[in-house]
Amino acid sequence: MQIIEKFTTNNENYKSGRRIAVKGLMIHSVGTPQPDPEVFARIFNDPSGRPNGRQVGVHAFAGSDGKVIQTLPWDYRAWHCGSGSRGSGNDTHIGVELTEPRTIKYTGGASFTDNDPANTKAFVMATYKVGVDLFAHLCTKFNLNPLADGVIISHAEGCKRGIASNHGDVEHLWKFFGLTMDQFRQDIQAAMTGASPAVPPPPAPDQTVSPAPAPAIQPDKTVPFNLMGRRLDIPGVIRDGRTFAHVRPLLEGLGFEVGLLDGVVEVRAGGGLKPDSARKINVTPEELTILQKIVHAEARGEDEIGQILVVNVIFNRVRGKGFPDTIKEVVFQKNQFEPTRNGAYEAANPGPATINAVNKALTGLDYSKGALFFMSRRAITAESWHERALTRLFDHGGHRFYK
Ligand SMILES: [Zn+2]
């Protein structure tokens, strides 16, 4: 057993720095067929991972090869077991997760099928042994008696004691290989006193993993949602009693607008902003340069929306009647975009903010309400052609928009 410190410094449980007085140790099993503890260490270090609005944290992940990745200092408070009627084990217990082999496949709740029982058994036995060694080490470090009541418990035992959420780990897996928590506690005690650990009894020869009940919903099918009275079938899966659905159709069903920019999913409240793949315009590199330069020349002092609006107006013209049909022709149409006449376009040197605004506009972000014209508000008088001949839509920043 080898402990490798890789603290999840982006995890809220690390950042908050809350300490506990360690009274015990809770053993978990990850509940997913991922054998590599480093994968979990990475996931738990991602600040965006917040199931239920709180960030899950655990002190360590143990692999079958003896490697323990320690993700939090042992006496930091982690959010690993939820709570029950009598409080939360998070306030008293260190949480350690054992990884699970690729050879099993969860089918719903704590049920799984085993594609390779021999390998599954070898893996589970190996992580069990790592758990024994780690807990023996921690019992010594924190002066804990592994046989005392409530000191060494599983997540499932924590639930029965009223200090953890309703999970079946680790027994949901161990029971198929003759492993019990009582045996675990005795093996920890033995390891602390230097005795060789008892060999866990082998499973009965004809014991196999019980066939899983048919899951309510097959993986990769749709999950029916009732979204405020409207039925939506969203691609997803129910696993471990939790419902996972693809986020985009769910958010869109809730009226949010979802876009993707530079690998970052953008979610905005609905209302006026309509990223819409049908409206997306693909541009050539030349057109992209034209858009960046004209936006910089027209609106470099404007905020992001003010810059996106310039692109929106150009697109509205390209798509609309009465204007040329290409970006280049629209921008260079005679007497239309002032900077193409006065040298400002040629001199334009767009920076990151402008480039970013243009990229956002290209995803379909549209604030324009169909505007075809805009005008500097400072230059507007009651006699301006725009005011007399056009329909005023709205002001944004230094510009007034019309159609
Ligand atoms: Zn657990």
Indicate if 233 and 299 belong to the same structural domain. Answer: no
Ligand 1 centroid, distance to 240 Cα (angstroms): 11
CA distance linking residue 358 with residue 227, whole number of Å: 34
Cβ–Cβ < 8 Å for 352, 359: no
pLDDT at 260: 62
Task: Output the six-digit token pair for 173.
Answer: 């897996």
pLDDT at 363: 82
Mark the residues whose beta carbon lies below 5 A from ion ligand 1: 28, 155, 167, 169
pLDDT at 108: 78
Q: List, for the chain, all residue ranges whose pLDDT scores fall below the cut of 70.
A: 47-54, 195-221, 226-232, 253, 255, 259-264, 269-281
Structural domain includes residue 208 = no
Task: Output the six-digit token pair for 203.
Answer: 């499973």
Task: Output the six-digit token pair for 302.
Answer: 């404007």
Indicate if 113 and 226 belong to the same structural domain. Answer: no
pLDDT at 320: 85
The greatest distance separating any two alpha carbons of the chain, rounded to the nearest whole angstrom, comes to 98
End-to-end, the C-alpha distance of the chain in Å comes to 72
Is the bond preceding residue 170 a cis peptide, omega within 30 degrees?
yes
Question: What is the pTM for the complete model shown?
Answer: 0.51
Ligand 1 centroid, distance to 212 Cα (angstroms): 20
What percent of the chain has a predicted confidence (pLDDT) above 70?
A: 84
Domain of 236 in residue numbering reads as 221-255
- Looking at residue 195, the DSSP 8-state letter turns out to be P
Structural domain includes residue 113 = yes
Tokens 């079958």 correspond to: 64
Indicate if 232 and 166 belong to the same structural domain. Answer: no
Indicate if 28 and 113 belong to the same structural domain. Answer: yes
Calculate Rg over the CA atoms of the chain.
30
Ligand 1 centroid, distance to 115 Cα (angstroms): 23
pLDDT at 77: 95
Domain with residue 302: its CATH number is 1.10.10.2520
Indicate if 65 and 175 belong to the same structural domain. Answer: yes
Domain with residue 122: its CATH number is 3.40.80.10
Question: Which helix (H) or strand (E) covers residue 232, if one does?
Answer: strand 230-239
